[in-house]
Structure 1
Amino acid sequence: MAKEIFVSIGVDVDAVAGWLGSYGGEDSPDDISRGLFAGEVGTPRLLDLFDKEGLTTSWFIPGHSVETFPKQMQMVADAGHEIGIHGYSHENPIAMTREQEQAVLDKSFALITELAGKAPTGYVAPWWEFSPVTNELLLEKGIKYDHSLMHNDFTPYYVRVGDIPTELKNYHTTT
């Protein structure tokens, strides 16, 4: 009997947002060009590949990408992939006040909820950074897991505060 293997594939659609919020690329035609390629060309190519291989994946989309590439991001939702939050324009959480981070999270949450037709449960940290209040804000929004941490490849990263795992409801594993 064949053993079932589970794999998580996550796609970060940084597109133009990744250059706006991270590297000051808003004035760089080259950076903007790479971002446009990601949204207009890369997204459909990945969707075709995943469809061909029969894979359902998780996409972490900045709110800016939802607004800039509505057709392509709708294709992601229509294909049945999970959609999670990845900031609005790839802002660094460490550089924001709690109120600023909350506003970005609220805006991104609303855009992703509207796109996906349901509230997101996954998150990728822009800049791969967490402020002292990021996890608290995520838990308040019902976010259950983070896809940006990397020190373990076989264990999910549940959103926690104070490095104490939150209660996991309806969590089941299969072996």
Structure 2
Amino acid sequence: MSAKPEASIEQEPWQWEEATWRGYAERVRAGRDLTPRAWPGGARMAVALSFDPDHETLSLREGDTSPGAMGRGEFGSRVGSRRILRLLDEHQIPATFFIPAVSALLHPQEVKAYAAAGHEIGAHGWIHERNALLSREDEYELTRRSADVLESLVGQRPIGIRTPSADFSDSTVEILQDLGFKYDSSLMADDMPYEILSNGQSTGLVEVPMEWIRDDAPYFMMTRFGPHRPYTTPRAWVEIMKDEFDSAYADGAVFQLVCHPHIIGHRSRMLVLRELVEHMKAHENVWYATHGEVADYVWRNAGVAA
């Protein structure tokens, strides 16, 4: 990927030449729509649930090492993850867990429990760093180390990643290619899987897009001395998620969800997550899959060998 045009450094955006603003817009772009003609087993739609066990890393990244901050993160592993695993096991739903390496090292048994239950383990950076602000060397090293840690814990190298900042730097595409990743789940150019383009060229990477709309954090985030306060009740959140699912079901599409054990894992929120799962389960012909399974299926069924 190209570096930022020199002309843009000292100019206001309204002063940019077309080559400059077009270059920014086209550095990473949505390519082919990978929606398959049919889903496995004649299913009407696909459901891809994901959980990001960030735990203590969100505070550690900011240098907040207070016991209070660590305790709020620890809740995700000690309580939230177990409640999520029980719910998924009860309904026999596979999920993908995108885990920062530091979180995995702090809670290795948790990561092993996810894998033992048949869930996919995906990469999510080292310490939930803001990868888009890193040098290429640092981003490469942290991404590689994170994949190494997860492989050492579960015996399988991750094929997918959710970048810890839900964004790409100028180097991310090349790093993911160099490290052998098959798919990403960080970008938001569509609500269906697509191929990632870099400067107009095919990358061979599948995007299983996320969206803040289908994420628990924007609705429930709380920072004691910061601006974030929960602004949505759990009951309101689940109605939004049901609408997202119902619309995807009507379209024969993908319903993709992002949750965090330290956020969704509290009692009132687990109640509505359960309600959402039971709502989905009341519908017939739904394919429940990991993000990796969705990425592999849409790639192969879009007519290109994986």
TM-score by length of 1: 0.87
| Partner residue in 2 for 1:173 | 301
Instruction: Output aligned runs, 1:135-146, within 5 Å.
Output: 135-146=173-184
CA deviation string 1:32-58 (max 9, x = no partner)? 221100122111111111111110111
> AA paired with 1:16?
E
CA deviation string 1:74-98 (max 9, x = no partner)? 1011111111100010011122211
Structure 1's unaligned 5+ residue stretches are none
SS of the residue corresponding to residue 7 of structure 1 reads: strand
| Partner residue in 2 for 1:100 | 138
Deviation at 1:11, TM superposition (A): 0.8
> AA paired with 1:172?
R
160-169 or 63-72, larger mean C-alpha shift: 160-169
CA distance in 2, matches of 1:166, 1:82: 23
Deviation at 1:60, TM superposition (A): 0.3
TM-score by length of 2: 0.51
Structure 2's unaligned 5+ residue stretches are 1-41, 206-295
Q: 1:78 aligns with which of 116, 122, 126?
A: 116
> AA paired with 2:46?
F
CA distance in 2, matches of 1:96, 1:123: 17
Q: Does 1:115 find its partner at 2:139?
A: no
CA distance in 1, matches of 2:181, 2:197: 10
CA distance in 1, matches of 2:44, 2:98: 25
Q: Which is strand-richer, 1 or 2?
A: 2
Q: 1:18 aligns with which of 51, 58, 68?
A: 58
SS of the residue corresponding to residue 121 of structure 2 reads: strand
| Partner residue in 1 for 2:220 | none
| Partner residue in 2 for 1:162 | 199
Deviation at 1:163, TM superposition (A): 4.5
Q: RCO greater where, 1 or 2, for CA within 8 Å and sep 6 or more?
A: 2
CA distance in 2, matches of 1:33, 1:118: 30
SS of the residue corresponding to residue 87 of structure 2 reads: helix
Tell me if structure 2 keeps the 8 A contact 1:122–1:144: yes
Q: 1:69 aligns with which of 107, 112, 122?
A: 107
Q: Rg: which structure is higher?
A: 2
Tell me if structure 2 keeps the 8 A contact 1:93–1:129: yes
Distance 1:43 1:163, change over 3 A: farther
Deviation at 1:161, TM superposition (A): 3.3
> AA paired with 1:108?
S
Q: Tell me the number of residue pairs that the alignment of Structure 1 and Structure 2 aligns.
A: 171
Tell me if structure 2 keeps the 8 A contact 1:63–1:87: yes
Q: RMSD of the alignment, in Å?
A: 2.3
> AA paired with 2:47?
V
CA distance in 2, matches of 1:44, 1:135: 34
52-61 or 160-169, larger mean C-alpha shift: 160-169
> AA paired with 2:79?
V
Give me the identity figure in percent: 33
Q: Does 1:7 find its partner at 2:135?
A: no
Q: 2:168 aligns with which of 120, 127, 130?
A: 130
Tell me if structure 1 keeps the 8 A contact 2:123–2:150: yes
Deviation at 1:173, TM superposition (A): 3.1
Tell me if structure 2 keeps the 8 A contact 1:25–1:32: no
